């Protein structure tokens, strides 16, 4: 479900024509629907109402403060992976006790700040990291909490760059080593191991891999219980897939029906970390057609938005639907490309795209997750503006960058 639909042949976001938005704010423009954003959060919360998990929205998917605040105000917690995301989470008003912190490479400074701010817990990814957290907490004279991130060695059946739960991935700790660490738990004087964490990958469209991973950890939790090791939390990560093209992902309800019985059997408080599911279909990116170029072999539609605005096609060969702002019945096979000096700078390849003219606009659909958050200034291009629509109202949630912004931190070198 999303709120980007044609009304009288005009693509609208909720009650506003996308065309009016781009005429007013320019392109490239990220447009988010408040209703779609909150609806996805609520769908997940309702599907899991029986066990009332803390839903920690994964900040990396889209870290705009306005988006974080909308979700935090609805009761969400946040899943962070860096000091920068901690800064954003607190700035958006998220209570520290609703923040969980993953990442295989947390620095000392990041760990110290997170401890001082009093986050709920760290998801720990190695023994060395655990030692480091223990020693930093000791220096700060604090006891801090951690969950051990388990690498359950399951196949998530998704793109190889976004699978994280295979034993060959850098993430988490295998069950044998996790067991050894838990047996030694009293050696870490400033750390309380309060839970386990898993996250097996992203854009996972079926429940089976989630079930397989959760079954592995629930078995492990029983084994720990038998040794008198009691935990409080199980964090089941994110990873729920969405519809970009013809996928038929499990709904939140189907996912919940499959996993809730297993989760309930643990008796633990459940945390989840969805990113894409909440924000993916809540955003689109609109570009203006600059030129249409026909070569002996191909037709190229060249737009003012490139891989610096949306890197997913270049990086994962990801599919995003491309729609004209005014319905056009004719379409033609073309490559939709940006202005960047790289052959990998494409948004769609060999695709049937509406027969647009120079000066028209095209909407790249489902760019809410890992769209802006992975954007860059490559080719010294300004990062796009972002707006959020609620019914017939629109708010700018990020101003378009200026040239002054992109050189702000640069200094001339003084040879003498
Ligand atoms: N928790 C952890 C520990 C994660 O590493 C991630 C995503 C999530 C939660 C949220 O996963 P989600 O619910 O959004 O699938 N850039 C890629 C996706 C990378 C995902 C990284 N980790 C893409 O554009 O497809």
pLDDT in tens, 60-103: 999 999 999 999 999 999 999 999 999 999 999 999 999 999 99
Residue 415 belongs to some domain of the structure: no
Predicted local distance difference test score (pLDDT) of residue 371 = 98
Mean pLDDT (whole number) for 22-44: 98
Mean pLDDT (whole number) for 225-251: 97
226 and 293 share one domain: no
Atom of ligand 1 nearest to the CA of 61: 14
Task: Give the HSE-up count for residue 282: Cα atoms under 13 Å, Cβ half-sphere.
Answer: 28
- Rounded Cα distance, 300 and 294, in Å: 6
Is the pLDDT score of 1 beyond 80?
A: no
Residue 408 belongs to some domain of the structure: no
93 and 190 share one domain: yes
17 and 40 share one domain: no
Which protein residue has the closest C-alpha to ligand 1 atom 23? 370
Residue 65 belongs to some domain of the structure: yes
pLDDT > 70: what percent of the chain? 100
Average pLDDT, the chain: 97
Confidence band, pLDDT 50/70/90 cuts, at residue 183: very high
Peptide bond between residue 28 and the one before it cis (omega within 30 degrees of 0): yes
Q: What residues flank ligand 1, with Cβ below 6 Å?
A: 58, 60-61, 79, 102, 162, 199, 202-203, 237-240, 273-277, 312, 316, 369-370
Predicted local distance difference test score (pLDDT) of residue 3 = 96
Predicted local distance difference test score (pLDDT) of residue 160 = 79
46 and 92 share one domain: yes
Mean pLDDT (whole number) for 16-40: 98
15 and 91 share one domain: no
Task: For 210-344, list the strands marked E by DSSP.
Answer: 233-235, 269-272, 283-294, 299-303, 322-324, 331-337
The domain boundary, picked from 251, 279, 307, lies at: 279
47 and 126 share one domain: yes
Mean pLDDT (whole number) for 45-52: 98
Predicted local distance difference test score (pLDDT) of residue 167 = 87
Is the pLDDT score of 309 beyond 80?
A: yes
Question: Counting Cβ atoms within 10 Å, is residue 260 exposed (0-12), middle (13-18) or buried (19+)?
Answer: middle
Atom of ligand 1 nearest to the CA of 275: 14
Q: If you ran DSSP here, which 8-state letter would residue 276 be given?
A: H
Give residue for tokens 């709120």.
3
Query: Residue 75 belongs to what domain range?
Result: 34-279
The domain boundary, picked from 225, 252, 279, lies at: 279
Predicted local distance difference test score (pLDDT) of residue 58 = 98
Residue 275 Cα, ligand 1 centroid: separation in angstroms? Answer: 6
Predicted local distance difference test score (pLDDT) of residue 304 = 98
Residue 376 belongs to some domain of the structure: yes
13 and 55 share one domain: no
Confidence band, pLDDT 50/70/90 cuts, at residue 162: confident
Residue 16 Cα, ligand 1 centroid: separation in angstroms? Answer: 30
197 and 311 share one domain: no
CB neighbour burial string for 380-415, b if at least 16 within 10 angstroms, e if fewer: ebebbbbbbbbeeebeebbebeeeeeeeeeeeeeee
Confidence band, pLDDT 50/70/90 cuts, at residue 134: very high
CATH classification of the domain holding 377: 2.40.37.10
Confidence band, pLDDT 50/70/90 cuts, at residue 278: very high
The domain boundary, picked from 215, 246, 279, lies at: 279
- Rounded Cα distance, 224 and 209, in Å: 23
Residue 413 belongs to some domain of the structure: no
Give the residue among 16, 32, 40, 25 at the shortest CA–CA distance from 64. 32
Helix (H) or strand (E) holding 135: helix 127-139
Confidence band, pLDDT 50/70/90 cuts, at residue 107: very high
114 and 164 share one domain: yes
Q: Which residues contact 152 (CB under 8 A, 6 or more apart)?
A: 165, 172, 175, 198, 200, 212, 213, 216, 217
Is the pLDDT score of 333 beyond 80?
A: yes
Q: Is 341 a catalytic residue?
A: yes
Residue 411 belongs to some domain of the structure: no
Domain count, the chain: 2
CB 15 within 8 A of CB 392: yes
**Please, where are the H alpha helices in 267-409?**
276-279, 312-316, 403-407
Confidence band, pLDDT 50/70/90 cuts, at residue 159: confident
CB 119 within 8 A of CB 100: yes
pLDDT > 90: what percent of the chain? 96
Give residue for tokens 């600059």.
290
Mean pLDDT (whole number) for 272-300: 98
Mean pLDDT (whole number) for 39-50: 98
CB neighbour burial string for 336-350, b if at least 16 within 10 angstroms, e if fewer: bbbbbeeeebbbbee
348 and 219 share one domain: no
Residue 78 belongs to some domain of the structure: yes
365 and 261 share one domain: no
Write down the catalytic residue from 12, 56, 194, 341. 341
Is the pLDDT score of 2 beyond 90?
A: no
- Rounded Cα distance, 114 and 120, in Å: 9
14 and 127 share one domain: no
Predicted local distance difference test score (pLDDT) of residue 165 = 81
């Amino acid at each position: 479900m999303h709120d980007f639909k044609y009304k009288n042949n005009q693509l609208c976001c909720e009650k506003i024509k996308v065309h009016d938005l781009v005429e007013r704010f320019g392109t490239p423009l990220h447009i988010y629907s408040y209703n779609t954003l909150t609806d996805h959060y609520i769908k997940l919360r309702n599907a899991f109402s029986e066990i009332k998990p803390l839903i920690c929205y994964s900040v990396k998917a889209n870290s705009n403060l306005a988006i974080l605040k909308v979700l935090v105000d609805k009761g969400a917690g946040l899943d962070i992976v860096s000091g920068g995301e901690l800064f954003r989470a607190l700035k958006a008003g998220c209570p520290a006790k609703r923040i969980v912190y993953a990442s295989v490479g947390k620095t000392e400074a990041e760990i110290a700040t997170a401890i001082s701010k009093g986050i709920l817990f760290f998801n720990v990814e190695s023994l060395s990291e655990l030692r480091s957290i223990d020693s930093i907490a000791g220096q700060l004279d604090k006891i801090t909490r951690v969950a051990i991130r388990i690498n359950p060695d399951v196949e998530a059946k998704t793109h190889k760059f976004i699978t994280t739960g295979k034993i060959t991935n850098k993430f988490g700790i295998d069950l044998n080593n996790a067991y050894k660490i838990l047996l030694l738990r009293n050696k870490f004087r400033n750390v309380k191991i309060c839970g386990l964490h898993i996250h097996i990958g992203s854009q996972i469209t079926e429940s089976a891999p989630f079930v397989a991973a959760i079954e592995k950890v629930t078995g492990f939790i029983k084994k720990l219980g038998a040794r008198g090791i009691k935990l409080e939390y199980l964090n089941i990560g994110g990873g729920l897939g969405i519809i970009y093209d013809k996928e038929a992902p499990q709904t939140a309800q189907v996912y919940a029906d499959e996993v809730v019985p297993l989760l309930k059997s643990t008796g633990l408080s459940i945390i989840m970390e969805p990113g894409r599911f909440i924000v993916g279909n809540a955003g689109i990116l609109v570009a203006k057609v600059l030129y249409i170029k026909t070569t002996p072999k191909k037709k190229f539609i060249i737009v003012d938005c490139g891989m610096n605005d949306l890197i997913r096609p270049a990086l994962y060969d990801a599919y995003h639907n491309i729609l004209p702002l005014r319905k056009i019945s004719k379409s033609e096979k073309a490559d939709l490309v940006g202005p960047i000096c790289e052959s990998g700078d494409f948004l769609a390849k060999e695709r049937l795209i509406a027969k647009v003219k120079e000066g028209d606009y095209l909407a790249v659909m489902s760019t809410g997750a890992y769209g802006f958050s992975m954007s860059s200034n490559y080719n010294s291009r300004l990062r796009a503006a972002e707006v959020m629509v609620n019914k017939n109202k629109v708010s700018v949630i990020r101003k378009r960058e200026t040239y002054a912004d992109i050189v702000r931190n640069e200094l001339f070198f003084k040879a003498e």
